[in-house]
Amino acid sequence: MERLYSRFPGGGVGFGLLLLRLILAVWFFETGIPMFGTSPITFAIAVVLVATALLLIAGVETSTNATVGAVCLIIGPLLADKPDQWFHAFSLAAISISVALLGPGGYSLDARLSGWRTVVSTPTSRNNKETL
């Protein structure tokens, strides 16, 4: 897996990104769970939202999951035909895209799986041949 970010910040910034991921996951749960009892298409969107929320909590493929969640949040009000939920959907989609652009942070499985690597090089012996 290639890294998309130059670094995975820890400390206060990493904790802030963890908090954003957790808040977004709670909103995905809150949006997705009531959709389970409706049509098959909204049921599928609900499954995607709940799965995305679980993966966001763990911090796995954070950018991809946040983007997929944003798309599901926009599609949800279109299928439900509820115009009063547009502000809610777009604000959550904006937070999702922000998390996708900022990255997972240091407190995620993404950071553990593809974080900084240490390269250790050992000096090689040269064949010192003298030419006559």
Higher pLDDT, 19 or 102: 19
pLDDT-wise least confident of 15-24, 51-60, 99-108: 99-108
Residue 35 exposed, middle or buried by CB count within 10 Å (0-12, 13-18, 19+): buried
Evaluate if residue 115 carries a pLDDT over 70. Answer: no
pLDDT score at 50: 93
Domain residue spans of the chain: 11-114
Q: What percent of the chain has pLDDT over 70?
A: 72
How long, in residues, is the chain?
Answer: 132
Alpha carbons 130 and 37: distance in angstroms, whole number: 83
